[in-house]
Amino acid sequence: MLTTDIKKSIDTCILCWLATVDENQQPNVSPKEMFTHLDDHTLLIANLASPSSVRNIAQQPKVSVSFVDVFIQKGFKLKGEAQLITKEDSSYAVNAKRLTDLFSDKFPIQSIIEIKVTKVDTIQAPSYWLFPNSTTEQSQIEGAMKTYGVKPG
């Protein structure tokens, strides 16, 4: 399910967006900056300060997570079922360490959102299919650098 390309994208993207729904079926989308893959079917997201997401998952575990590389303008949308791993759970410490080893222990992790991925879709900018002869990852990178005023390091 989580291929090498998807894992590479997870490893390089800075943010993901977690979509949940509340008890009235109203959507909630919240950015998350600490996330990683656990295995070929599982995504871990640190809950730093997301009471709405946590409350929604407790009531309705179906979620969607999206992440896009802003330079190449490609990414993935994952759908699945989420559960909360709290500090009392036996797997909390090892999973929290996976996240802090990749990012930082600067932020207190309140709990971990574990998502069992059931569906994967690709995301890409419309330029790739509107202008397939001239749109490449390199042209997207160059365009994004110009638009955002970024220079290669």
What would the pLDDT profile of 86-126 be if each residue is shown by its tens digit?
999 999 999 999 999 988 778 899 999 999 999 999 999 99
Specify the pLDDT at position 74: 97
Query: Can you give the CATH number for the domain in which 54 is found?
Result: 2.30.110.10
CA distance 77 to 67: 7
152: pLDDT strictly greater than 80? no
Specify the pLDDT at position 106: 84
Domain count, the chain: 1
CA distance 108 to 23: 27
Buried b (16+ CB within 10 A) or exposed e, 86-114: eeeeeebeebbebbeeeeeeeeebebbbb
In a domain, 99, yes or no: yes
In a domain, 141, yes or no: no
Specify the pLDDT at position 105: 79
pLDDT bucket at 150, cuts 50 / 70 / 90: confident
pLDDT bucket at 148, cuts 50 / 70 / 90: confident
In a domain, 153, yes or no: no
Specify the pLDDT at position 103: 86
- CB count in 10 Å sphere of residue 77: 17
CA dist 73 to 13, 68, 87, 138, Å? 11, 6, 36, 11
